[in-house]
A and B are shown apart, each in its own frame.
Chain A
Amino acid sequence: MTGEFLILALIVITALVFDFTNGFHDTANAMATSIATGALHPKSAVLLSAALNLIGAFLSIEVALTVTNSVIRIQDSDGNPLPALMGDGGGALLMILLAGLAGAILWNLATWAFSLPSSSSHALFGGLIGATIASIGWQGVKWAGDGTLDGVLGKVVMPALVSPVLAIIVAAIGTWTVLKITRVIEEKARDTWFRWGQIGSASLVSLAHGTNDAQKTMGIITLALLATGHWHDTHSVALWVKVSCALAIALGTYSGGWRIIRTLGKGLVDISSPQGMAAESASAAIILASSHMGFALSTTQVATGSILGSGVGRSGANVRWSIAGKMALAWLITLPMSAIAAAIIWWIGHFFGGSVLAAWVMIAILVAGCLAFYRHARTSHVDHRNVNDEWESAEPAREEVRS
């Protein structure tokens, strides 16, 4: 096995791990409200969401080969790697991808350990930006589009400012409207109806998520294959890439990310099923409307905004703004933090010569970081059994960590 092939294999595995974290980080977006209101049993909810993510991933026939072009300059407009990065058999490009993915995974695990939702796409963009700056300098980053919604400004900053506000407004109006219309209906019958509505709208969010997000990992893996000459077609994705990405995101979704589900479902607002349906409908409508108009909004930020909005729209609802504030802070620093992590990992790899040894060192740093966050998460264990415990009875039962 040649060194280059080994690095390629490590990148493919790292990309699939990122896809997995993308899955469990975002289960909450679709299913947190259905789990919190009891519309679905926690295990059934993650199973449904995983199945829809899997189907969604297979539906994405269109190739997302130019995914990195939104924020950095390492590919041409067809998706082929830039010749300048191909001097040493694509080694420079592989190092950027590996460091970028590692930075994104670390940020996803850090936010998971602290039970905060955050955008996986922004983490991926952040990681790629950090590795690009470290590798080819600031000019490698596309900060703004030419009058279009592109670059860091158009694809990350603007959507991050817009998504939550839009979602809060739509979900608040929706919640207020459905509560007004159904206030004469007996509560038990009303809740049964709304639970069904909730499951329908949450399913749409899951399906859309699978179609959008699995594509990004497919694009990254295919870019690595193009750079090493193992793939030549810029109009399609290898079948094994598609199958493995679809499975990775579905498995990630099924594993649940219970900490984030708990924060979104129980932490932000005490959610009832009419609120849940209004929130998921708002999320589905905003995500689909924006994707239809080629305007990239973050699923996570839309979903969180919608849940907040469902609290705003019900008079007397208790919205925990301190938790919302923590999330806002996490979103603000998602891009810079994953960029810094990726840049540091790239520099360390560069120090070790940017070859096979460097790749192993980078992977070792990634694994060590992941283990550290996992240990932190174990100090307050959340799973499908205690995901719906009352929020005020404080943190879920603390378990002693054997050390």
Chain B
Amino acid sequence: MSTLLATLSGVFHVFVTSIVFGVGLPAVFALGMRAHAWGSGTTRKHDGAEELPPSRRFVGNALMVACLSVVMLGLVIGIGVILSSGLGMELTFNGVIPVLAPKG
């Protein structure tokens, strides 16, 4: 019974984290893609036919860069988790920036 409870609690945490990273990051990536398409007028609606103001291209690209930065941060956290498990360290998020710390 206690094993079952330990499992359920573990599963719940893994589930929530996986939704945040496994769904959240691809969604942000997709939003970046959409921002780029909106700025450059390459959505299906526009298809690059009509002239768009240059400011819109700038805003679209800026949004894209912001989105991709979030995705890159996610990738760095992922590599941090791998490193920490390999080095016998723990990845902590006490501050905003993830830090490798000795286990304990």
Complex Cα gap A281–B23 (Å)? 7
Whether A295 and B10, one on each chain, are in contact in the complex, defined by CB atoms closer than 8 angstroms, is: yes
Q: How far apart sit A278 and B23, CA to CA, in the bound complex (Å)?
A: 7
Chain B 47-89 near chain A by CB (<8 Å), digits 1 or 0: 1000000000000000000000001000100110111111110
From known contacts A148-B6, A197-B29, A295-B10, infer whether A288 and B15 are also in contact, taking CB-CB under 8 Å: no
B93: min CB distance to chain A, Å? 11
Minimal Cβ-Cβ distance residue in A for B7: A158
**Contact assessment for A174 and B23 in the assembled complex, using a CB-CB cutoff below 8 Å:** yes
In A210-230, the 8 Å CB interface with B consists of 211-212
Interface size class on chain A is 35 or more
Q: Contacting B14 at CB < 8 Å: which of A146, A173, A284, A293?
A: A293
Complex contact B18–A282 (CB within 8 A): yes
Distance of A161 Cα from B51 Cα, bound (Å): 55
Do the beta carbons of A184 and B19 come within 8 Å of each other?
A: no
Cα A153 to Cα B20 with chains together (Å): 28
Residues in chain A near residue B99, CB distance under 8 A: none
B81/A189 in contact, CB under 8 A: no
B94 at the interface (CB under 8 A from A): no
Contact check, A148 vs B3: say whether CB atoms are below 8 A apart: yes
Assess the B42–A170 pair: CB atoms within 8 A.
Answer: no
Q: Does A289 contact B (CB under 8 A)?
A: yes
| A51 → B minimal CB distance (Å) | 15
Chain A binding surface, main DSSP class: helix
A281 B25 Cβ-Cβ under 8 A: yes
**Which of B34, B47, B71 has the most chain A CB atoms inside 10 A of its CB?**
B34
Query: Once bound together, how far apart are the Cα atoms of A208 and B86, in whole Å?
Result: 9
Q: Main secondary structure on chain B at its contact with chain A? A: helix
Residue-wise interface mask of B (9-48) relative to A, using a CB-CB cutoff of 8 A (1 in contact, 0 not): 0110111011111110111011101100100001111010
Q: In angstroms, how far is the closest chain A Cβ from the Cβ of B17?
A: 4
* B23 and A282 within 8 A (CB): yes
Cα distance, A182 to B34, chains bound together (Å): 6
Chain B residues near A295 (CB, 8 Å)? 10-11, 13-14
Is A277 in contact with B21, judged by CB distance below 8 angstroms? no
Cβ of A324 to closest chain B Cβ, rounded Å: 20
A184 closest partner in B (C-beta) = B43
Please state if B86 and A170 are interface contacts (CB–CB under 8 Å).
Answer: no
**Cβ of B91 < 8 Å from any Cβ of A?**
yes
Instruction: Give CA–CA (A44, B19) in the complex, Å.
Output: 30
**Contact status B30-A177, CB under 8 Å:** yes
The contact of A184 among B3, B45, B79, B85, by CB within 8 Å, is: B45
Q: Does A54 touch B at the CB level, under 8 Å?
A: no
Q: Indicate with 1 or 0, residue by residue over A185-227, a CB within 8 angstroms of chain B CB atoms.
A: 1100110010001001000100110011000000000000000
- The residue from B7, B18, B26, B47 contacting A286, defined by CB atoms under 8 A apart: B18
- A177-B30, A278-B26 known; A149+B83 contact, CB < 8 A: no
Segment touching B, from A57-65, A123-131, A352-360, A395-403: A57-65
A292: CB under 8 A from chain B? yes
* Distance in Å: Cβ of B15 to nearest Cβ of chain A: 6
**Do the beta carbons of B87 and A288 come within 8 Å of each other?**
no
Contact check, A186 vs B26: say whether CB atoms are below 8 A apart: no
A284 in contact with B78 (CB, 8 Å): yes
Indicate which residue in A178, A193, A211 contacts B82 across the interface (CB closer than 8 Å): A211
Are A177 and B14 in touch, CB under 8 angstroms?
no
Give CA–CA (A90, B22) in the complex, Å: 46
Instruction: Choose one: B2, B14, B29, B83; the contact of A289 (CB below 8 Å).
Output: B14
- Residues of B contacting A169 in the complex (Cβ-Cβ under 8 angstroms): 15
- Give Cα A178 to B22, complex, Å: 11
Q: Assess A186 versus B42: contact at CB under 8 Å? Given A56-B86, A174-B23, A181-B34.
A: yes
Q: List 21 A-B contacts (CB under 8 A).
A: A61-B88, A154-B7, A158-B7, A162-B11, A170-B23, A171-B22, A174-B26, A178-B26, A185-B34, A189-B33, A197-B71, A204-B75, A204-B79, A211-B82, A274-B30, A281-B21, A284-B78, A286-B18, A290-B10, A293-B14, A295-B10
Given contacts A158-B7, A207-B82, 11 further A-B contacts (CB under 8 A): A162-B11, A170-B18, A170-B23, A178-B30, A181-B33, A185-B34, A186-B44, A189-B42, A200-B75, A208-B82, A284-B22
Top 5 nearest A-B pairs (CB, nearest first) are: A285-B22, A62-B88, A147-B2, A59-B86, A289-B17
* Chain A interface residues toward B at CB < 8 A: 56, 59-62, 144-149, 153-154, 158, 162, 166, 169-171, 173-174, 177-178, 181-182, 184-186, 189-190, 193, 197, 200, 204, 207-208, 211-212, 274, 277-278, 281-286, 288-293, 295, 297
